[in-house]
Amino acid sequence: MDKYRLPSVDFDSPLVELSFELERFRGNLGLGTTRPQLIIELHSLFQILSSVISARIEGNRTTVYDAIRGPSGDDEQQSEAQREINNLLAAMRLIDELPPEAPLTHSLVREFHRMTVDGLTREGDPTPGSYRVVDVEILNSAHTPPSHVYVHSEMSDFLEFANRPLPAHQQMIHVAIAHHRFLWIHPFRNGNGRVSRLVTYFMIRRNGFVSPVGLRTVNPTAVFGNDRDEYYASLEAADDLSNSGTVLWCTFFARGVHDDLERLTKLQDAEYLSREVLAPTIQRMRESGILNTAESKALQIVFDQGVVKAGDLEDAFPGGPSARSVAIRAMVERGLLQRADAGPRFYTASLHNPVIGPFLVRRFNELGFLPPMLQNDKLE
């Protein structure tokens, strides 16, 4: 049986309809009015969400709010749960830095694994960055992965498939099959789920789901956070490599990516982002005592303009230049503003910092942007 043959699908299958819809979304990426700086900041925030989801699937209970805040300053050492999330963030940054056309290789997959399990005990691996040299079983699964003797050759076949050029309308199915077949091989003793989601992120990025600034706000890991049980059940349905099981898995995957893109492409609309997300976030921060009236106005100006000079904040801080500099410095020290690349006297806002980020995530939750897996996290 050719495990890498694309499944046969009836024309009226939901998978066909989803494939067409995904192509429409891909064509619309980058056509919005949201400033590139905000796209970059949103990308950074959603990468944190994705790392929490990937770790949560494996049992990590760190909340998204704790992940944004990071370990407190008096922590003698980073907790293993937080380190697992930071490892995933580092691997995602590596992927973002790679050319989109870069091929997937043995060494790259092994590096994903090394980074993922680095410094971990409970969720670590005795041989980081190396394929397994023992046979394994998957807990609560009827599937038995191939013997370790065949792992390298199985992975060679997998990489040939993962790097295979396919027409645009088949690419999401291509990514879905690759995700399952990687887990079917189970090339590492531990960390396979986390690495498979990184591989999926790598492939979907390479397949053109990128913004003009080279970054995406969507990460397919969010798909797997919608329903952990359904995720595993859909994967298991494809373990026999049958056409029907593969179609079921691909449909689950494509529907999740479709729903996520449908929500997230709204963020390309600057008016929607300002009205439904940023303005309510500022209002809630003011009500919580995080911002005073002047700071609220200043932050709104920065959100509207993207990058500002001190003089652009005169309406918020109407005193002289000296008083304005003091107020801006205070906002920078609290993490409300950060210095922009344009120069030392230019400022922008960070959406994923420990001050603004938790309030922004809370607003996204109210709008239905978070997968169910994260919806019970509490903002203290």
* Token pair belonging to 104: 């997937």
pLDDT in the model for residue 71: 62
**Residue 232 marked in a binding site:** yes
pLDDT in the model for residue 78: 64
Helix ranges restricted to H, the chain: 14-28, 36-57, 64-69, 80-97, 106-117, 151-162, 171-185, 192-206, 221-224, 228-237, 243-264, 270-272, 279-287, 293-305, 321-333, 356-366
pLDDT in the model for residue 235: 94
pLDDT in the model for residue 101: 87
User: Are 265 and 39 in contact, with CB atoms under 8 Å apart?
Assistant: no
pLDDT in the model for residue 214: 45
Q: What angle do CA 141, 143, 149 make, to 5 degrees?
A: 130
Q: Which residues contact 104 (CB under 8 A, 6 or more apart)?
A: 159, 162, 163, 199, 202, 203
User: Order of strands, edge to edge, in the sheet holding 338-339?
Assistant: 308-309, 346-348, 338-339
pLDDT in the model for residue 74: 44
What pTM was estimated for this model as a whole? 0.87
| pLDDT tens-digit series, residues 67-123 | 988 765 445 456 899 999 999 999 999 998 998 889 999 999 999 999 999 999 989
pLDDT in the model for residue 76: 42
Contacts by 280-283, CB closer than 8 A, 24 or more apart:
280/363, 281/356, 281/359, 281/360, 281/362, 281/363
CA atoms within 13 A on the CB side of 165: 2
Q: What is the CA radius of gyration of the chain?
A: 22
Low-confidence ranges of the chain (pLDDT < 70): 1, 30, 71-78, 208-220, 342, 379-380
What is the torsional sign of CA 287, 289, 292, 296? negative
**Residue 4 marked in a binding site:** no
pLDDT in the model for residue 79: 87
Q: Which domains does the chain have, with CATH numbers?
A: 34-268 (1.10.3290.10), 270-374 (1.10.10.10)
pLDDT in the model for residue 142: 87
Give how far Cα 122 sits from Cα of 48, 89, 308, Å.
21, 19, 46
Q: Which residues contact 288 (CB under 8 A, 6 or more apart)?
A: 359
pLDDT in the model for residue 258: 85
| pLDDT tens-digit series, residues 264-306 | 788 888 999 999 999 999 999 999 999 999 999 999 999 988 8
Out of 174, 186, 258, 352, which one is annotated catalytic?
Answer: 186
Query: Is residue 148 among the annotated active site residues?
Result: no
Q: From 214, 216, 221, select the one nearest 99 (Cα to Cα).
A: 214
First CA to last CA distance, the chain: 53
